[in-house]
Amino acid sequence: MNAEARNVVVVGGGPAGLAAAIYAGRFGMAPLVLEPGLPGGKLTLIDRIENFPGFPGGIGGPELAQRLDEQAREYGAEFRAVAASAIRRDGALIQVATTGGEVAARAVIVASGATPLRLGVPGEREFLGRGVSYCATCDGPFFRDKDIAVVGGGDSAVEEALCLTRFARSVTVIHRRDRLRASEVLQRRALAHPRIRFRWSAEVIAVEGGDQVEGIRLRDLQGESRLPAEGVFVYVGIAPVTGFLGGQVDLDARGHLRAAEDTATSFPGLFAAGDVRGKPLRQVATAVADGAVAAMAAEKYLTGD
């Protein structure tokens, strides 16, 4: 059993996990990365990243993902196309259950990221790809000269609403509060925009249509109403992927893994990197920084330094 234990298992192949694999590989730890999909995480959805240091003019998300993946393999990272489903302490080891068997690890770096929250209303799932979207950069151009809605009031919602005005005839922002949560600059631009409207203190109760989305059923202080819309873009927040940890690791108030400056969590030998952990700035640059630190911390943990 011990002979087969991996030095370090990295859960997730987004920028944090890939950076952790690059550094752990260079430390000679032969990391194993568990990623059921394609490498890159949210990079796969980004057309161009304009603020990643070292790339003036920007770099495409998929292209950066491919480079990180290549670099991790260059330093001996191994990849397995499975998802982690549970962990348990086993003496000095951590057993990681996956969709394809169990892996024993001396240290685990959790870089499982976060997924967009769903509205959880009737019609949302049925109309996915037929008017319901979670990615304005992917789907915006299909809504040229149409009336659409954005649900949410944070930075992402307002940023995407502004971006969608390049295509749509009108964008209605539906927010459950009576004021936006987004940053001052974004708020000012959105509130002044001639083609952005607002429905305040309103809640989506259903997405409706035939072959594709035709409208949204809303409830606000005036009661129930129907807003005609051919597209609904949902930005009501993200949920860190922590279910597989089974409540064994401390979370912060917002459900992210609580991790120290060196990425250590409350679970000895388990480190947290990227969007899954509580942190002040969620960017590709901070994800790769987390990954690098987590690899160093795991190495120190293994050598008892």
Tell me the number of residues near other proteins by CB under 8 A: 28
Encoding tokens for residue 46? 């980004």
Site string for other proteins, 27-56 (x = CB under 8 A): ---------xxx-x---xxxx---------
DSSP string over 47-88: SEES-STT-TT-EEHHHHHHHHHHHHHHTT-EEE---EEEEE
Q: Which of 98, 133, 156, 263 binds other proteins (CB under 8 A)?
A: 133
- Under DSSP, the state recorded for 187 is H
13 binds other proteins (CB under 8 A): no
Cβ proximity to other proteins, 137 vs 283, nearer residue: 137
Cβ proximity to other proteins, 259 vs 284, nearer residue: 284
Phi-psi region of 94 (alpha: psi -120 to 50; beta: other; left: phi over 0): beta
Instruction: Compute the Cα dihedral for 250, 251, 257, 262 and give only its sign.
Output: negative
Distance linking the first and last C-alpha atoms of the chain? 25
Stretch that binds other proteins, among 70-78, 132-140, 182-190, 278-286 (CB under 8 A): 132-140
Site string for other proteins, 237-276 (x = CB under 8 A): ----------------------------------------
Q: How many CB atoms lie within 10 A of CB 117?
A: 14
Stretch that binds other proteins, among 61-69, 91-99, 168-176, 294-302 (CB under 8 A): 61-69
128 binds other proteins (CB under 8 A): yes
Site for other proteins in 62-81 (CB under 8 A): 62, 65, 81
Which one of 139, 147, 275, 290 is the catalytic residue?
139
Which one of 90, 138, 250, 252 is the catalytic residue?
138
Closest CA to 161 of 234, 58, 212: 234
137 binds other proteins (CB under 8 A): yes
211 binds other proteins (CB under 8 A): yes
Q: Alpha-carbon distance 124 to 108, whole Å?
A: 35
Q: Alpha-carbon distance 224 to 125, whole Å?
A: 22
- Where do runs of H (alpha helix) occur along the chain? 15-26, 61-74, 136-139, 155-164, 184-192, 284-303
95 binds other proteins (CB under 8 A): no
- Under DSSP, the state recorded for 258 is P
Chain positions contacting other proteins, by CB under 8 A:
36-38, 40, 44-47, 60-62, 65, 81, 128-131, 133, 135, 137-139, 141-143, 211-212, 231
Catalytic residues: 135, 138-139
